[in-house]
Structure 1
Amino acid sequence: MLKRTMMASVGVVALLGSPAQARSASEDASVPASPAGAADRGESGDIVVTANKRSQSIYNVASSISTVDTETMTAKGMNTLRDLTQDVPGLAIFSRGSDGANLIILRGLSSGSQTTSPTVGVYVNDTPFSFSIPVGGGSSVLQPDLDPSDIERIEVLRGPQGTLYGASTLGGLIKYVTRKPDATQLSGSIQDTVLGVEHGDVGNTARAAVNVPLIQDRVALRVSGFYRLEPGFIDNSRTGQDNVNQTRSYGGRASLGLYPTDNLSIVISGLYQKNDNRSLGAVNLNPLTLQPSPRDLTQQFYANSAFNSEYRLVDGQFSWKVGDYTVSSSTSSARAELSALLDFTSFLPTNFLGARYYLGPQDLLYTKFSQEVRLTSPAGKPLEWVAGLFYTSETVATHATVDGFRANGTPGPLVPRISQSGTDADFHEYAAFANVTYNITPTLALTGGVRVAHSKITDQITSGGLVAGAPLNNPLIQHGRQSADVQTWLASLNWRYAHDGSFYIKAASGYRPGGPVEPPPVLQPGQTIPSQFKADTVWNFEAGNRNNFLDGRVSTDVSVFYIRWNDIQLPYLVNGIRVLANGGKAISQGVEFLTRLRPAKGFSLSFNGSYTDAHLTTDAPLVFGHAGDRLPFVPRWNLTANADYETPISSDMIGKIGATYHYQSGIQTALSPADTSFIAFKGFSTADARLGVAVHDLEINAFIRNAFDKRAYVGGGFAGGLASGVPIQPRTIGVGFSAKF
């Protein structure tokens, strides 16, 4: 397999030819800021971000932020949010073994794999693209993991972002900042990468984008597309199929930019992404030793557990500068779909009702409309502020069945379908928010913020079959309703003690919406459950320092935090049916850091990492939790070291070489060993290397990831008496080229 990859790599290089010109090593390789405030890295290391919904230096932002640009991701062969855990302190991903099916965790705020709504939000520019609706079971799963094609950078905002970004940002926010249409010049890019996975198959990633001015300086169109084949490396020994976890992802984005005057900007965009996954990337483990069973990188399912997702987003961004003030509007419509096929055989007695195995197809559809209008004051005044109104409407429609089959694949002889259920729900939220900054001195700024929100949710749940105790043709129908008022707060003090140095302290709160609880169809005598669960809330206290000194040869960014989490929304099982309830309190505390060193021309070192202590402070008996139990899927340590060197090879060519070492400590899949899904996975370390050549606007990059082919697990658990784990990708070798014009 690796031989095939290298042969394909040679073919890619041969097609490139020999360009006549190249960028010299001394030229400034920074990317100029776009009209939307893209990252601008100058010699001082200053970075412009949009975390506070205005473009400003990162040294003026009293918050812990990481930025990753697509050039870095391309050089390292990174495509997904899971890959970002190496470069973003405090970021953890619980993987379900499929692109677009991960649980995002920041600062240790995780209540387990069965949580129904996320603790981390996802935005595309100013558009919310994650779902807060707390029913249906998929809003924590269908968080967009977008391909980085046509992305300027990814901003990761750690800590609650409740005042400016609203619900379900308890732990933080992932913000994709896209490239905007440029009405001044024709430009474009193309990229192709071939890679192979040890024990698996060969894959490919192709991306292209073009920007066309339609009316000089006034109208532009930008279009991009991608196709990505992620190689499979897990075999299904029961069906006899190899590399079943192969994934095909494809999609694109189109943006029309209208700039009728220098003070008016309108950008209308559409985004589409489809992930087709043949089977979840989980393997069977021996429940006692946690070693692969029956052999390495193997699963045993009666059918491939497909997990396919589809994302669509249409948004319009309006910005009008009136005098020194800016009026902004963001209007969007989002849609996320999931189609899955799960094997439920292990949950039932052998040959139950005469069937050899049971499969459960599931379909989920989430939609979202959002509208935000805000007014922003001019920067540089003694008083700066941003205030706005927000509205969102979300819907969910789900349908799931559990069907029995004979060994020959025909329907079960006695009761072919033992369960059929569905959920239809609507969620609405109205909010008003404001952040006000008082510049006490030119270098000292005090900020306060508040968001007042009202939410309401209604749902209808239908259930029939043996599990529900109701006929399939006359299912049980239940209705639920809840409304709530929630306030979130912010206070911070930022001292910019140098041009490229700042210290800040911050206190901020956040929340996830609550919702109704429909009792399971069958309850034990005398058994009762709450009729609703309320919002869970956090208060985050942090201090941080970032600076850049010795003429840019040393830069540091360090933050310490302490988070109190109250009324945690905990999913638990009642007679086999998942129910949400509030229970227990927790704290998460730790440190995050990033240090960059440039000891010599062309040579750079970076060290980043986090220590997170996230645990219950009270008992949570519903999920067998006790005070002191660690929160699920949260590693205590996450550490990365990078070394990179670039030097001129000739007058028109630059050579690059680099290496990465990454360590993640162990995780556990549930709060307590008393939980039947509990597994404690050991920590692991990986080593990566990369090699590249830059010739003007053309680059060739080769990389190797997990060079020593380590086997480790980033997801999994016990289910139906079987143990499973989601392994990291085995040794992967790739080579690709990218070109711009």
Structure 2
Amino acid sequence: MTPSRPMAFVRRAEPALAGCGTALALLFAINPAHAQQAAQPAQANAAANPDDGEIIVTAQRREQTLMKVPQAVQGLSGESLVRMGVTDIQSAISLVPSATTGSTIGAGSTTYQIRAIAASETDGDPAVGYYLDNFAFTMPGRPYAPAADFYDLERVEVLRGPSGTLYGLGSIGGTIKVLTKDPELDGVSGSVRATGNLTAGGKPGWSGDQMLNLPIVDGQVALRGVISYKRVGGYADIIPTGVKNDNPSTSFTGRLKLLAKPTDNLTIRLSAWRNNTKQRWSNRITFSEPASIDQRFGEALSDYWLFAGDIEYDMGFATIQSSTGHIKNTVISNNGGFIPGIGNFTSLWPLVTNNFNEDLRLTSNGNGPLQYIVGFFYQNGNTAGGQTVQLPDFPVAPGVIGFNTVNDRNRLYSKGWAVYGEATYSAFDRKLDVTVGGRYYKEQRRFEEDSQLEIAGAVIPNRTTTRASHDTFNPRVNIAYHAAPNAMIYAEVAKGFRSGAITSASIIGASNAVLGTNLSNVSPPDTLWNYEGGLKWGLFNNTLQLEIAGYYVDWAKAQIELSPALQTIVAQVGDVRGHGIEPSITWRTPVRGLTLNFAGNFNSTTIHNVPAAIVAHIPQLKEGNQLPGTAKTTFTLAGSYQTPIGGNGLQLRLNARYSYRSRQQSIFNGVYAPYNGVGYARASIGNDRWEAGIFSDNLGNTVGPLDRPGGQNQIVYPRTVGISFEAHY
């Protein structure tokens, strides 16, 4: 079925909301008295529950309440995520204004974007930085986010806008941090959760999670372990085999975390992550209704081991902290079949990444007017592999049939280091904060290509080594004025960057032949300037929390993924300019236990200065067009209700949300994926020891599709109805 059209106000929302910023700022200036009544710090917008309490975030690499951070930051507590049925990054993203999920090939190969700063779906570095605790998760030359289960989390933080000063590594559009709970030093504890669901027109799914906390040395050393397993039922029929609902996926996640506090000043955390996510066939289907795949074979795999250590020592005046980690990550996509307009195909995409990074930083302590952080970052990694494609039926030219490429033997090496720092000075009785910071980053890359191009049986080998070196300085200036404990207005100028891509010389050569261009296979880093102003305000004893941010971005010589010659390349083809507004409202209503939330993004992000030869072949890159792969409007409406029932501390909890994304255009063929609206609801009963619930996702059974890459479709997962049970001991 197709989604029902939202009310007409959605189309009129952007100009109306644009005026909200001026009105709110004026009201803020005239009458801050209401804000001075606030007694409780702000909760996480778009995810708050009445019992969340303070949300502490580390967006600025130090612990602060969310209301005190002069940035556009989302703080989603682990408890609120559980109650809303959020179990992974993809479902959490729907709660964040301006954050959306990009195209995926299969389970474990997902990309995300923030504020319409879109990375490619297969090539190039990400436009969003990903952190698992303090480890910078990255695959040199690839944009994929980590696959991770969300059971037993402390919180998720999403920084909107460039975070290149303190985070770097792909944070040109923003940063996503997944923070796990520390072990508890006193007392054995644990929890277990089981979930089962039925899928509309598909096969059932289920999941199981368990956490165990064990003190080893009372008050000094403890271990916390988490195991999660999830099976997502298949929903697409396989046309050549006739098997129904044959694209299921499974995911296993295991985490171990050791906490040691041998002295009051010394804290040591050691952790290990293991994730294995695999899918039969893929998430890309040939036909949307009914969902079906015209392929002979297909599989997708994401598998990683991560080992990390975090040591911090409190020296009194400051705390020194070292975060070290290594990851081995394997991502494989292997499928073959038929694509309308292209014909028969096979595609093998094996990628193996090894990456080490170290982050050493010194953070000031105390409550003095000057706060600072200085640090050094180092990373050394490589990604082996690439895409091998066979298109035996494709007409390359009149009388010339067949196009094959072999790229799975390529390897990209990356080595880089950075020095960074920020200082904040508070004046006028802590009402005015001025922050100045910067990050200098230098990187060397080496691309060893061992590929070949086959056209109509003729083999053209290519064995080359390409080297590139670049450096960049990324400043940040932020001014914040605190009119009251829960009232703040801020302005910021910041620069973000993304490492330059090195593309296969054979593929870029074929692309230049098609386009009539002379694109280089080496791209320098992206640079993006972000100009932003925002307001955070808690009113009426903090029962009404308002946040609004407006921004303008200037993304020069943006690296964009293209596919002019049947395979993808990443090249700097134009400039991107955008502006947007992000309103967010949390209202703890007079009805006890009822909280309502709204969070959204309304933007215009357009492409400019693309060479005419490229536009002639890829008209979706015409002057002033919305950047393909991005949506102009996203928003989420959410509500939660909690009330005591009966005795024994029983609580009834109700949660619902609706997420909307406007249409977006495919970079590959210019086809639009329509607007999508997806609803979720959950009801549960429980106390501090147990909870039982019933839920439904994609209530309206929206199909979409979400994206239409390369003649295929990626649809919304069909409606599910399920039950869950969780116990704590």
TM-score, normalised to structure 2's length? 0.86
Give the counterpart of 1:715 among 707, 714, 724: 707
Q: Is contact 1:189-1:739 (8 Å) kept?
A: yes
Q: Secondary structure at the match of 2:708?
A: strand
Aligned counterpart for 2:162 among listed residues 160, 163, 167: 160
What code does the residue aligned with 1:48 have? I
Deviation by residue 1:524-579 (Cα, 9 ceiling, x = unmatched)? 59974425211111011111111222123211221111111001112334654543
Pick one of 187, 208, 211 that aligns with 1:209. 211
Question: Is 1:732 the counterpart of 2:720 in the alignment?
Answer: yes
Q: Structure 1 residue runs of 4+, over 6 Å off?
A: 39-44, 347-350, 414-418
Q: Say if 1:225 and 1:453 are closer, same or farther in 2 by CA, change over 3 A.
A: same
Question: In 2, distance between residues paired with 1:589 and 1:56?
Answer: 28
Give the 3 Å change call, closer, same or farther, for CA 605–451 of structure 1 in structure 2: same
User: Does residue 549 of the first structure (1) align with residue 546 of the second (2)?
Assistant: no
Partners of 1:113 and 1:401 in 2: CA distance: 16
Aligned length: 667
The one-letter amino acid paired with 1:184 is D
Which residue number in structure 2 is paired with residue 392 of structure 1?
379
CA contact (8 A) 1:80 1:99 kept: no
Q: Among 601, 610, 614, which residue is 2:601 paired with?
A: 610
Deviation at 1:200, TM superposition (A): 0.6
Q: 2:396: which partner in 1?
A: none
Task: Please point out which of 362, 366, 371 is paired with 2:349.
Answer: 362
Give the equivalent residue in structure 2 for 1:330.
323
1:512-551 to structure 2, matched below 5 A, reads 512-520=498-506, 524=513, 528-530=518-520, 532-551=522-541
Q: What residue number does 1:281 align with?
A: 283
Task: Report the Cα offset of residue 324 of structure 1.
Answer: 2.3
Across the aligned residues of Structure 1 and Structure 2, the Cα RMSD in angstroms comes to: 2.8
Give SS of 1:466's match.
strand
Question: Bigger CA drift: 207-216 or 636-645?
Answer: 636-645
Shift of 1:268: 0.6
Alignment of 1:122-133 (within 5 A): 122-131=130-139, 133=140
Q: Which residue of the partner structure matches residue 7 of structure 2?
A: none
Instruction: Give 1:361 shift.
Output: 2.4
Residue number in structure 2 paired with 1:631:
627
Work out whether residues 521 and 571 of structure 2, in 8 Å CA contact, stay in contact via their aligned partners in 1: no
Distance 1:225 1:437 in 2: 41
| Letter of the 1:685 counterpart | G
Other-structure match for 1:3: none
CA shift, 1:71, in A, is 2.9
Residue 421 to residue 184, structure 1, CA distance change in 2 (3 Å): closer
* AA at the equivalent of 1:216: D
Q: Quick one: which of 157, 172, 175 aligns to 2:174?
A: 172
1:319 to 312, 336, 347: 312
Aligned to 1:634, the other structure's residue is in SS state coil
Q: Which amino acid aligns with 1:452?
A: Y
Contact 1:180-1:222 at 8 Å conserved across structures:
yes
Residue identity over aligned pairs, in percent, reads 24
Residue 551 of structure 2 is matched in structure 1 by 561
- For residues 385 and 447 of structure 1, do their structure 2 counterparts lie closer, same or farther at Cα, with a shift above 3 Å needed? same
Post-superposition Cα deviations, 1:458-493, rounded to whole Å, max 9, x if no partner, equal 111111352498759xx4201100111110010001
- 2:124 match: secondary structure: coil
Contact 2:49 2:640 in 1 (8 A): no
In 2: Cα distance, 1:279 partner to 1:229 partner: 15
Quick check: 596-605 or 433-442, which moved more? 596-605
Contact between 1:248 and 1:275, CA under 8 Å: does it hold in 2?
Answer: yes
Structure-1 separation of matches of 2:131 and 2:643: 37
Answer yes or no: is 1:484 the counterpart of 2:476.
no
TM alignment of 1:209-358, pairs within 5 A: 209-285=211-287, 292=288, 295-303=289-297, 305-343=298-336, 345-346=338-339, 357-358=344-345
Structure 1 partner of 2:412: 425
Deviation at 1:417, TM superposition (A): 8.2
TM-score, normalising length: structure 1: 0.85
Distance 1:487 1:86, change over 3 A: same
Q: Which moved more, 1:534-543 or 1:54-63?
A: 54-63
State whether residues 333 and 370 of structure 1, in contact with CA within 8 Å, keep that contact through their aligned partners in structure 2.
Answer: yes
**Whole-angstrom CA distance in 2 between matches of 1:348 and 1:597:** 51
CA shift, 1:667, in A, is 1.1
| Structure 1 residue 518, shift from structure 2 partner | 4.9
8 Å contact 2:526–2:558 — kept in the other structure?
yes
Residue 6 of structure 1 corresponds to none
Contact 1:520 1:577 in 2 (8 A): no
Which residues of structure 2 form unaligned runs of 5+? Answer: 1-39, 394-400
Q: Distance in 2 between matches of 1:661 and 1:215?
A: 47
Q: Partner of 1:22 in structure 2?
A: none
1:231-250, CA deviations, whole angstroms, 9 ceiling, x for partnerless residues?
Answer: 11111122212222211000
Contact 1:421 1:464 in 2 (8 A): no
- Report the counterpart of residue 655 of structure 2 in structure 1: 658
User: Are 2:678 and 2:699, in contact at CA under 8 Å, matched by a contact in 1?
Assistant: yes
Partner of 1:619: 610
Aligned to 1:289: none
CA-to-aligned-CA distance 1:578-611 (integer Å, 9 cap, x gap)? 4332221111211112211122211221111111
Distance 1:503 1:339 in 2: 46
In the alignment, the residues of structure 1 paired with residue 576 and residue 77 of structure 2 have an alpha-carbon distance, to the nearest angstrom, of 34
Establish whether residue 456 from structure 1 lines up as the match of residue 444 from structure 2: yes
Gap change, CA 1:642 and 1:339, over 3 Å in 2: same
1:30-69 per-residue CA deviation (whole Å, 9 max, x = no partner) reads 9xx9xxxxx9999896421111111112233211011223
- CA distances 1:605-661 after superposition (whole Å, capped 9, x unpaired): 111111121111333543542221111222212122222222221122111223323
Q: Distance in 2 between matches of 1:42 and 1:606?
A: 12
Residue matched to 1:648: 644
Measured against aligned partners, the alpha-carbon deviations of 1:73-117 in whole angstroms (never above 9, x if no partner) come to 333332232222431111111132533222200001115535421
Deviation at 1:184, TM superposition (A): 2.0
In the alignment, which residue of structure 1 is the partner of 2:681?
A: 689
Q: 1:40 to 1:265 in 2, by over 3 A?
A: farther
Distance in 2, matches of 1:537 and 1:469, equals 42
For residues 252 and 710 of structure 1, the distance between their equivalents in structure 2, rounded to whole angstroms, comes to: 32
Residues 619-628 or 447-456, more deviating: 619-628
Name the SS of the counterpart of 1:631 in structure 2.
Answer: coil
Structure 1 732/346 Cα, relative in aligned 2: closer, same or farther at 3 Å?
closer
Instruction: State how far apart, in whole Å, the 1-side matches of 2:586 and 2:593 are.
Output: 13
Question: How is 1:56-135 mapped onto 2 (pairs within 5 angstroms)?
Answer: 56-96=64-104, 98-110=106-118, 112-131=120-139, 133-134=140-141
Deviation at 1:217, TM superposition (A): 1.1
Separation in 2 of the partners of 1:512 and 1:214? 43
Give the Cα–Cα distance (whole angstroms) in 2 for the partners of residues 527 and 506 of structure 1. Answer: 38
Q: Secondary structure at the match of 2:106?
A: coil
CA distance in 2, matches of 1:421, 1:195: 38
Whole-angstrom CA distance in 1 between matches of 2:253 and 2:52:
37
1:446 aligned residue: 434
For 2:645, what is the secondary structure of its paired residue?
strand
1:499 pairs, out of 466, 474, 485, with 485
User: Could you tell me how far apart the structure 1 residues matched to 2:453 and 2:578 are?
Assistant: 42
Change (3 A) 1:697 1:468: farther
Offset of 1:373 from its aligned partner? 0.8
**C-alpha distance in structure 2 between counterparts of 1:588 and 1:420, whole Å:** 35
How far the C-alpha of 1:265 sits from its partner, in A, is 0.3
Q: Residue deviations 1:108-137, cap 9 Å, x none?
A: 111553542110010012210123x23xxx
Q: Aligned-pair distance for 1:517? A: 4.9
Amino acid at match of 2:209: R
- Structure 1 CA distance for aligned equivalents of residues 192 and 660 of structure 2: 33
**Paired residues of 2:347 and 2:389 also in contact (CA < 8 A):** yes
- What runs of 5+ residues in structure 1 fail to find an aligned partner? 1-29, 34-38, 286-291, 351-356, 407-413, 671-675
CA distance in 1: counterparts of 2:346 and 2:454, whole angstroms: 15
